Amino acid sequence: MSPATRPRKEAQPVLTNLLAGLLGGLIVLALGAILIAVGAIDTGDTNVVRGSAIERPAASDGSDGRTVSEIYRKEGRGVVFVEARGGRDQPSIFGLPREQGAATGSGFVVDRDGTIITNAHVVEGSSKVTVRFDEKDDPVDAQVKGRDPSSDLAVLKIDPKDAKGIDPLRLGNSKETRVGDPVVAIGNPFGFARSVTTGIVSAQQRQITAPNGFPIRNVIQTDASINPGNSGGPLLDADGKVIGINAQIATGGGRGSVGIAFAVPVDTAKSLLPQLRRGGKVERSYLGVEMAPVTKQVAEDLNLPVEDGALLQNVEKGGPAGEAGLRGGRTQTGEGVAAGGDVLVEVDGERIETPDDVAAAIADDRPGDEVEVVYYRGDEKRTATVKLSERPNRIDSSQAPGGGEGPIPLP
């Protein structure tokens, strides 16, 4: 082989390697562009998570919604840090003592006149309440206009002239939320001012126990990280509208978030807001009974004539239902249900399938109103007229649903 032909034979593999390298580089560049576009690679331009379910969640109207950053920048301005001091011998709340006579939490502005919503347990027993819009701002004095321990809601009022700017949050509709909807929580966990976390609606129609021992119904469950200090802060949808007021967490024995948190539905807040901001007392009708749900299995085990309804477990002596002749259970079963009580199937014209239906049936009635109750005693169907009384301020937490255990109000 002559020297003149040797370079040509060596050029073929060099050219092949060059083409292979170029092709591989193009593939890597293409894959990199795709990964950057979907947010799997952080280019260093932002510290916001780029996953589409978080950064650009679907709004309730089916549109793309707003980014978490957009919601934080806009709605975050209306979230305040609440500090409540004073209140001698303030009781501990579900085993969580108040530290040095003070409590801290969150709240949010709902009107340019300085109206703020927070949790009732944040300001319980307080003699002085202040709010701050930013950790660098001076505290602004706030007046507690109204508290409703039964819903764990309170309304504060500040002079808008004392704040640098009032930016009210929009109130949404909690009934329109669906399991899986993205949510954003803004608050002051452990004193870290105006922190934001994200998650989804984990469940609906949950029930938690209010600080005064009564049940709060239709509660929203979320996996957004909520911790002590988030109390009273807003739970927002993808449009930045408030759908709930963060109130309690399940702790698993500790004090931090384990991914199970609860928010009082904003629909409840909207219904009580006019009365609370006027300083009026929220009056609720009271039947004076403890109930257990009737299921197909319970009906079979106890030989009940119906497969749904509210089985009376205890009837308060001298209470409205007791005065009308209704009876509670007498014999405790292995399933934890007391047998022998009356089964409510209709209250005030509303069909009763669960104990929640009883509460809903008298929700629009006032103390002193009379309601007709249809029930079974054994196999006999009966009717009684019950004169409702006013709900007491508090019941013993050991008599509350769940025996006082379960989720705890955030301090």
Active site residues: 121, 152, 231
Residue 153 to residues 49, 132, 258: CA-CA distances in angstroms?
Answer: 33, 19, 24
Q: Report residue 68: phi and psi, to 5°.
A: -60, -40
By CB atoms closer than 10 A (0-12, 13-18, 19+), residue 106 is buried
Whole-Å CA distances, 68 to 19, 50, 73, 185, 223: 45, 10, 9, 10, 16
Neighbours of 279 (CB within 10 A): 13
Angle at 55 between CA 54 and CA 60, to 5 degrees: 70
Residue 98 is classified by DSSP as P
**What phi and psi values does residue 207 have, to the nearest 5 degrees?**
-130, 130
Task: Please state, in angstroms and rounded to a whole number, the distance separating the CA atoms of residues 219 and 280.
Answer: 24
